[in-house]
Structure 1
Amino acid sequence: MAPSNEATEEQLDVARTQGNAYHRAMRAMAEEEGAHTAQVGDYLIGFVNEEAEGMYALDDDQLVWREAAEDANVHLEVAVADAADGRFVPGLAVHLRLSRDGAPILAADLPFLWHPFLHHYGTNASVPDEGPYRVTIRVAAAGFMRHDPVNGRRYERPVEVHFDNVSLANGRKPSPDARPRGPAAPTASGA
């Protein structure tokens, strides 16, 4: 990244500071849950999984706690950061596929999930066992507009990354009893 009519060196330093904080959170996620990471094109992509979990969702202008669907046994998470400054990249179309020995197991579009620690794209899903699996993550070319004639030409091509021999956590996280319950959240569909 270089100074331009849209960003001074000091402003770019602020962006890198934001990116460093997100990168620390990605590292902590990797240490805690064994993330797989790779730089692909303009992105740093991280994948981690944990047990299926409940989440809040908006329902008729009210937040409602929703447990993971009954058959969900994993929560799949993909963190996408800018490779140049390390900041989280919002507004992307992220697709994940699981396969084993070339056979499709699961395909899912991953929506953005707000998280108090690490914003990511993700979903709960149902898988037959712990694996190992091949995880394929595809990030479509970004559809949002970009400022800056010097630094803005990025995210213009789709990227794909593969992580092999990935074992998945199977189970369900217990939810705090204080949460009001709503209908189960949807899970990703099988392939």
Structure 2
Amino acid sequence: MTGTSPPMDPSSSEATKDQLDLALVQGRAYGDAVEHMVTRVAHDGGSEQVGPYEVGYAVEDAEGMYHLEDGELVWHNPQQENTHLEIVVRDAADGRFVPCLDVRVELVSPSGERLGPERQELVWHPMMYHYGKNWTVPEDGEYTVRVHIDPPSFMRHDEINGRRFAEPVEVELTGVKIQRGAEPVEPPE
């Protein structure tokens, strides 16, 4: 995954060239954050274009997160989970993050065991939004990651460029290297 993306279709009924250029700047900045995650933080990562999306992944140790429970944020460390899988979905035209998606993932282990499909939830990360989940995987090695994305329900502005993201897509990422591990930490008081 890189900070560059193909240009957005210049035909637009709503956006000026300057506005489309600003979307490209946003996409490049998000791409830079993704590139940092993949090359400096994650164990493995990559991407593939499918339909109107660029679908990427990053693999890390399982990690703790806050969950909203009964109006309170509650920290949950990994228990048996030993891998954190991040799925990044970008607009292939401008590189921006695509929100409001239902992203489901199935993993196939090196020995052929199938895990999932499981829903990857939206994760707010201080550097980059992504769809993520802690997984419990049976072994280290190269996995197949099958990603299914349903079309988002959000409204689309622009009579020309707005006619995108209307069909479900699937992508199969092979050779995804998973090394099991967990980062249990205590949140600051």
Query: What's the TM-score once normalised by structure 1's chain length?
Result: 0.87
What amino acid is the match of 1:93? D
Partner of 1:126: 136
Is 1:99 aligned to 2:130, yes or no?
no
Partner of 2:4: none
1:60 shift after superposition: 2.0
Residues 55, 88 of structure 2: 8 Å contact kept: yes
Matches within 5 A, 1:1-191: 1-32=9-40, 33=42, 34-68=44-78, 70-100=79-109, 103-175=113-185, 177-179=186-188
Unaligned runs of 5+ residues in structure 1 are 181-191
Residues 103, 150 of structure 2: 8 Å contact kept: yes
Distance of aligned partners of 1:14 and 1:135 in 2 relative to their CA distance in 1, 3 Å threshold: same
Aligned residues: 178
Secondary structure class of the residue paired with 1:21: helix
What amino acid is the match of 1:167? K
Identity %: 43
Cα distance in 2, alignment partners of residues 56 and 98 from structure 1: 25
Partner of 1:187: none
Partner of 1:185: none
Residues 22, 88 of structure 1: 8 Å contact kept: yes
1:124-177 CA-partner distances (Å, limit 9, x unpaired)? 1101011321111111122222010011111111111111122212111131x4
Residues 77, 184 of structure 2: 8 Å contact kept: no
Unaligned runs of 5+ residues in structure 2 are 1-8
CA-based RMSD of the aligned residues comes to 1.6
Secondary structure class of the residue paired with 2:77: strand
1:39-64 CA-partner distances (Å, limit 9, x unpaired)? 11100111111111111111222222
Cα distance in 1, alignment partners of residues 144 and 59 from structure 2: 13
What amino acid is the match of 2:101? L
Cα distance in 2, alignment partners of residues 159 and 168 from structure 1: 24
Cα distance in 1, alignment partners of residues 169 and 39 from structure 2: 25
Cα distance in 1, alignment partners of residues 139 and 112 from structure 2: 16
